[in-house]
Amino acid sequence: FLWQEGHTAHATAQEAIEETERMLEVYADFAENWMALPVIRGRKTEAERFAGAIDTYCIEALMQDGKALQAGTSHFLGQN
């Protein structure tokens, strides 16, 4: 079980969104190229988002039973 968590602050919302998307790519690269686990990149629906997030991006892996397993998330929490 791996757990990675980071928190960043940015001068603009655009910089924060770019960092959120960049981290999603870091997670996808690790899953695909280090763990040999193919993943699908996407954005969660409003109902699936992290509480308080404006957007939640995710990578998900398809299991043998056809269900998707959330394998990593990155959240844009807005500009406060």
Q: pLDDT tens digits for 52-68? A: 999 999 999 999 999 99
d(CA 14, CA 68): 30
Residue 64: per-residue pLDDT: 94
Strands (E), 1-80: 40-43, 55-62, 68-76
Q: Which burial class, exposed, middle or buried, applies to 74 when counting CB atoms under 10 A from its CB (0-12, 13-18, 19+)?
A: buried
Q: Is a pLDDT exceeding 90 seen at residue 3?
A: no
Q: What pTM did the predictor assign?
A: 0.84
Q: Is the pLDDT of residue 79 over 90?
A: no
